[in-house]
Amino acid sequence: MIYPFNERGDIENVKNTALWSIYHRVMAGDETPEDREYIADKLMHNSFSNTGIPLLGVMFDFSELGLKPYVVKQFGTWSEYKALNKTSLRAAILGRVDKIVQID
């Protein structure tokens, strides 16, 4: 789902962006491993949502895709992330990862 999340958000402004094309490729099932990595990285590094990626006041919500919750142990600390799969999450995380566990 793509929707404006503030008063400046306009879907017309994001129609020619890379995220727009990635979103539609993923929804059609034609995504590449790089697309999954991009999604995992952007989900990890935004503070608005853990299931969507904000861009210019518009939220690209990937919750319909069945994002899976994972806990990651890195540098002695556990953190929770959501990603499409474990491989894309591992690729998006910088540094040494001790353990990744999917939460059911």
pLDDT tens for each residue of 48-68 = 888 899 999 999 998 888 889
Grade residue 84 by pLDDT with cuts at 50, 70 and 90: confident
The per-residue pLDDT for 48 is 83
- Please give the Cα distance from 26 to 35 (Å, whole number): 8
Sign of CA dihedral 4, 85, 83, 88: negative
Q: What's the structural domain count of the chain?
A: 1
The per-residue pLDDT for 25 is 92
Percent of the chain with pLDDT over 70: 100
Which of 55, 49, 51 shows the shortest CA–CA distance to 63? Answer: 51
Domain that holds residue 47: 2-102
Strand order in the sheet with 99-102: 77-83, 68-74, 99-102
Residue 75 region by backbone torsions, left for phi larger than 0, else alpha for psi between -120 and 50, else beta: left
Mean pLDDT value of segment 90-102 = 92
